[in-house]
Amino acid sequence: MTWADMGGYGTITYLLNGEASNDLDLLKSLRSGLLEEAEQLIQASSKNGYLITLLSEDYIWGSNMELMNQAMTLLFAYHLTGDEKFETTALNNVHYLFGRNSLDISYVTGFGSRSVMHPHHRPSVGDQVDAPIPGLVIGGPDAGLNDECAGKHLQGKPPAQCFIDHEDSYSTNEVTIYWNSSALFALSHY
């Protein structure tokens, strides 16, 4: 569910339309696919020390978007089934976002005892105020080290620790609307 891949939003819309759908076979297939994906996320979380759904290969540019999109999938699975394991695992992803992670940092500006202070966000950098604008979800660890700052400072780090709180690290510390929107969706549930 990103600007480059809108299919997940269509699936969710169709599922929320429920029995009013014209094609019940399609509805059944989409529901089954979403629940299968949610079960895979549950399995991934059971193997993670922080109980989150990210795999090593998920620590990409915008890994926190990936994390919150997975939380959205889990919350839709909870909506469809009422099974609390989906809700609980989504909440574990939220805990990670707010600081229960290997870096002990909240990836949301202004929240938590140790939050991001130097996002790649022009309004926060240029406003002459030390603290960044609060409430912004930043990209998070990016094992690809896709900018010069990350490449210089994070070589050899494990994927979950490929993050630097520096305004020049756009691949780890960027702010975007669509990363914030999936986080807002997940947070609105709790």
**In this predicted model, which residue has the larger pLDDT, 103 or 122?**
103
Is residue 4 pLDDT above 80, yes or no?
Answer: no
Q: Model pTM greater than 0.85?
A: yes
Say which DSSP state 22 is in.
Answer: S
- Given a cut of 90, whether residue 20 has pLDDT beyond it is no
How far from the centroid of its chain's Cα atoms is residue 148's Cα? Answer: 23
Q: Which pLDDT tens digit goes with each residue over 146-167?
A: 999 999 999 999 999 999 999 9
Average pLDDT, the chain: 94
What pLDDT is attached to residue 86?
98
Split at pLDDT 50, 70, 90, the class of 106 is very high
Q: For residue 41, name the pLDDT band (cuts at 50, 70, 90).
A: very high
**Which stretch of 15-29, 36-50, 61-75, 134-148 has the lowest confidence by average pLDDT?**
15-29
Is 90 exceeded by the pLDDT of residue 15?
A: no
Is the pLDDT assigned to residue 142 strictly greater than 90? Answer: yes
Q: What is the mean pLDDT of residues 167-179?
A: 94
Query: How far is it, in rounded angstroms, from Cα 41 to Cα 112?
Result: 26
Q: Which domains does the chain have, with CATH numbers?
A: 7-189 (1.50.10.10)
Long-range contacts of 117-121 (CB under 8 A, 24+ apart): 117/165, 118/165, 118/166, 118/167, 118/173, 119/165, 119/167, 119/173, 119/174, 119/175, 120/167, 120/168, 120/169, 120/170, 120/173, 120/174, 120/175, 121/167, 121/174, 121/175
C-alpha Rg value of the chain to the nearest Å: 17
